[in-house]
Amino acid sequence: MHFMETLDKFDVAILVQLQTDARQTNAELASRVGLSAAPCWRRVRALEEAGFITGYRAEINRHKIGLGVLAFVRLDADRNSADSTGKLEEAIKKMPEVVACHYISGTGTFELQVVAQDLEAFSQFALKKLMNLPNVKDIHTSFSLGEVKASSALPLGHLGQRLSS
């Protein structure tokens, strides 16, 4: 079944509201989306069970906790066989400094977002950990000079448009 067939305007409204404030009570959420509390709660649970909602978490200001460096690291793998790439993936997943990792097209195999306390800490991490990962050929790093926008909220406007057509 196509995902749009399973969402209606109330589901989309719930997703919009929870991305804005996941700490609101079910009563507040129900009021904002135009449902009573019980059906709203059932819909939230159904959205969780169907995998539309994958979790709830606090957004932490990395600067306030002493992680002043954000680096974008393109990692080139030596070989791209399933076994060697799988071992590299598993090693990357275990590194808390890597807050995001994506397969990429073009030059390189992975694009990592890495946080560190300062440039020295990042340098030590890159030289002692990243370069020693299995199957790593090279790394190329760019540093964030300032965040213009950093949001984990996904755009949902296309869902509402498709429901009204």
**For 14-55, how does the pLDDT look when each residue is reduced to its tens digit (9 = 90+)?**
999 999 999 999 999 999 999 999 999 999 999 999 999 999
Cβ atoms of residues 69 and 117 within 8 Å: yes
Identity of the residue numbered 22: A
85 DSSP β-pair partners: none
pTM of the model: 0.82
Cβ atoms of residues 114 and 68 within 8 Å: no
92, HSE (Cβ side, Cα atoms, 13 Å)? 25
Cβ atoms of residues 6 and 36 within 8 Å: no
Whole-number pLDDT of residue 12:
95
DSSP state of 154: P
Q: Is 45 helix (H, G, I), strand (E, B) or coil?
A: helix
89-147 pLDDT tens trace: 999 999 999 999 999 987 778 999 999 999 999 999 999 999 999 889 999 999 999 99
In the block, tokens 């097209």 appear at 105
Whole-number pLDDT of residue 110:
92
Rg, Å, the chain Cα set: 20
Cβ atoms of residues 112 and 100 within 8 Å: yes
